[in-house]
Amino acid sequence: MKKVFGIAGLLFAVVVFTAVMSGQPDGSNTFLSAYNLENLAQRIGMFGILSVAAAFVIVTGGIDLSIGSVVCVAGCLLPWLLRDLGWSPFLALPAVLLLSAAIGLWHGLLVVGLRLQPFVVTLCGLLLYRGLMREFTKDQIMGFGDTAEGLRFLATGRVPVTDAFGIPVTAIALLVVAALTALLWNKTVAGRHLFATGRNEEAARFSGVATGRLTVLAYVACSLLAGFAGVLFVLYVNSAQASSAGSFYELYAIAGAVLGGVALRGGEGTVIGVLLGAALMQVLANAINLLGDSNRLEFAVVGAVILAGAAADEGVRRLFSRRR
């Protein structure tokens, strides 16, 4: 828990700052309005799932740079299946998720079987899948027409709590994903083995842990979740263009996870930290849109805050280790 103090504090500070700054003369607050909180929760839902995906692989000591391209694959294929091929959503959704999982399996087998570096495998994946999708879609925008009306509830729906505020379905999806992931990581033998593998693969292997199988599993989980998020993104936007869908999302995903205390060297991380990290990224972007004269500074602010977060986190850790 100590590890998430830094990021939780930072998130709290940014939230308080934004809330204070966005108060209006008439007493209302643009940041704390039900409308804005709903939107924010919805985005955190989608990007949070991506960060959990990234965390799965980072925990094994690997990295997945292809997350954004898997989002692109899922985003381009779902409209194609529904509209151009006329598949039922009950067939199209599992097909897209299955393909995403297969991409993860392929990554895992290359990393474990051929002992290729995760960075290389997934960097090539990043280029390969987006390139293939651009060829496949001829760079055309893939729209649903009206074949996804019901399905879009997954991405744009709200479960009403009060008259003004409803919980976005994507936020619920993230909570479900996060809860399942937390259970897997903390409460199962496989989770313990996953973290042992990330900390010291050799020692885990010498303890009879099936390290290879677990690593493959992590890549499958990562791509499956990325594909699921891709489905949500395309339903959110209502269309996807291969050249831009999910572009650079791997960086948002990885930044969220790392910001939340998932160590790039592997074997460390908490689901709650990942959620906080992903939330911070979205709150920052939202704050810049709400408060700024223009959003030109978005990347600079995000970069500076992440750096500050990492430094603060390290500072907190040192403070604790000195006290011990």
Residues of this chain that interact with other proteins (CB under 8 A) are 22, 30, 33, 35-36, 39, 43, 46, 134-135, 138-141, 143, 156, 183, 186-189, 191-193, 195-196, 199-200, 202-210, 233, 236-241, 243-245, 247-248, 267-268, 285-286, 289-290, 293-296, 322-324
In single-letter form, the type of residue at position 219 comes to: Y
Alpha-carbon distance of 56 to 220, in angstroms, equals 9
Q: DSSP characters for 167-230?
A: EEHHHHHHHHHHHHHHHHHHHSHHHHHHHHHHH-HHHHHHTT--HHHHHHHHHHHHHHHHHHHH
Tell the smallest beta-carbon distance from residue 244 to other proteins (Å): 5
* Neighbouring residues of 146: CB distance < 8 A, sequence distance ≥ 6: none
**Exposed/middle/buried for residue 157 (C-beta within 10 Å: 0-12, 13-18, 19+):** middle
Tell the smallest beta-carbon distance from residue 118 to other proteins (Å): 20
133 and 76 Cβ atoms separated by less than 8 Å: yes
SS3 state at 43: helix
Q: Which is nearer to other proteins, 90 or 293 (CB)?
A: 293
Q: Which is nearer to other proteins, 98 or 183 (CB)?
A: 183
Q: Which is nearer to other proteins, 89 or 157 (CB)?
A: 157
Q: Which is nearer to other proteins, 22 or 223 (CB)?
A: 22
Q: Which is nearer to other proteins, 91 or 320 (CB)?
A: 320
SS3 state at 37: helix
Tell the smallest beta-carbon distance from residue 237 to other proteins (Å): 5
Q: Which is nearer to other proteins, 36 or 102 (CB)?
A: 36
Tell the smallest beta-carbon distance from residue 241 to other proteins (Å): 7
Length of the chain, in residues: 324
Tell the smallest beta-carbon distance from residue 117 to other proteins (Å): 19
Alpha-helix runs per DSSP H in the chain: 2-21, 34-59, 67-79, 89-112, 118-137, 153-156, 169-187, 189-199, 201-206, 211-237, 249-259, 271-291, 298-323
45 and 228 Cβ atoms separated by less than 8 Å: no
Tell the smallest beta-carbon distance from residue 194 to other proteins (Å): 12
Q: Which is nearer to other proteins, 102 or 213 (CB)?
A: 213
Tell the smallest beta-carbon distance from residue 60 to other proteins (Å): 13
DSSP letter at 157 equals -
